[in-house]
Amino acid sequence: MRDLFHALPQSLRERARNLELAGVPALVVHPDFDHATPTQALRSVPWLLWMHGRTASKEIDAGRFLRLMRAGIGSISLDLPGHGARAEEELQTAPRALEIVERMVGELDGVVEAVDALGGFDRDRAAIGGMSAGGMAAIVRLLAPHRFSAAVFESTTGNWEALRGRALDDPTRVDRLDPIQRLAAWRDIPILVLHNVGDEWVPIETQRQFVESLRARAADPTLVQMHEFTDTGAPAEHAGFGRCSAEAKNLLMSFLTRAFGIH
């Protein structure tokens, strides 16, 4: 297996660790961590819990974690079930997507408890987010009581019914878990949604409908922000933001620094 950790930029590797958190492989980045003094106490920083999309790994898009680190924000990037350090090829296929989403959601509370035990990550300033399948897992986790103070959803959707027969081949899980049908317990927090207009895998209209559902029930609809990109050049207009990737990262940074009260 390729050593993805050592392919990261050196400045990121110096502040990063590959750990298992409650049995889940994680890339753990803290702005103050130093491999020369690995047991030192770390100041408490805000942090982002991040999940990648199907067929990817926790190390993807290192520029995201590097920017967060430079802004004084930690990050915990997880390998989805069957991906990265726990790769199982059959779990990376489209028909298994909702299975890995549900399994990932079931692991998240244990991960958060393990992060608390690490120290250095603020209990009260934690955001959750993900891309594609990882974003679906983030949305589902927010349907139950939680302590996250912000969320970021990239190239994903909370409207699974709209994908029935197209991208999701697990009708039982669609019926049981579809977020847009289960918003009664949703708690208002700042949300940033990024999506490509021409997304061939997750049509943008499905996420527009989910965003409108969130805004319709929110005490403050402006808490839910959505930014749409056009003609990014990304594969299938789904896997990343192509020529707009720097803008996407700038939007993420601006959003999180506001949500975390960083000036």
Sorted by where each starts, the structural domains of the chain and their CATH numbers stand as 5-259 (3.40.50.1820)
What's the mean pLDDT when you consider all of the chain? 94
Q: What is the pLDDT of residue 166?
A: 62
Q: Is the pLDDT of residue 1 over 60?
A: no
Average pLDDT on 46-70 reads 95
Q: What is the pLDDT of residues 99-120, one digit of tens each?
A: 999 999 999 999 999 999 999 9
Amino acid letter, residue 157 = T
Q: Considering the chain, what percentage of its residues have pLDDT values greater than 70?
A: 97
Residues 6+ apart with CB under 8 A from 147: 112, 123, 124, 126
- CA dist., res. 203 & res. 163, Å (int): 8
Q: Which of 149, 6, 150, 11 has its CA nearest to residue 69?
A: 11
Q: Is the pLDDT of residue 127 over 80?
A: yes
Q: Is the pLDDT of residue 13 over 80?
A: yes
Q: What is the pLDDT of residue 96?
A: 83
Average pLDDT on 125-149 reads 97
Q: What is the pLDDT of residue 167?
A: 59
The pTM of this model reads: 0.95
DSSP summary character for residue 261: T
Cβ atoms of 228 and 189 closer than 8 Å: no
Q: What is the pLDDT of residues 86-103, one digit of tens each?
A: 988 888 888 788 999 999
Q: Is the pLDDT of residue 132 over 90?
A: yes
- pLDDT band with cut points at 50, 70 and 90 for residue 2: low
Q: What is the pLDDT of residue 87?
A: 86
Cβ atoms of 207 and 238 closer than 8 Å: no
Q: Is the pLDDT of residue 59 over 90?
A: yes
Q: Is the pLDDT of residue 225 over 70?
A: yes
- pLDDT band with cut points at 50, 70 and 90 for residue 169: low
Task: Tell me how far CA of residue 158 lies from CA of 15, 168, 169, 239, 245, in angstroms.
Answer: 33, 12, 16, 18, 23
Q: Considering the chain, what percentage of its residues have pLDDT values greater than 90?
A: 82
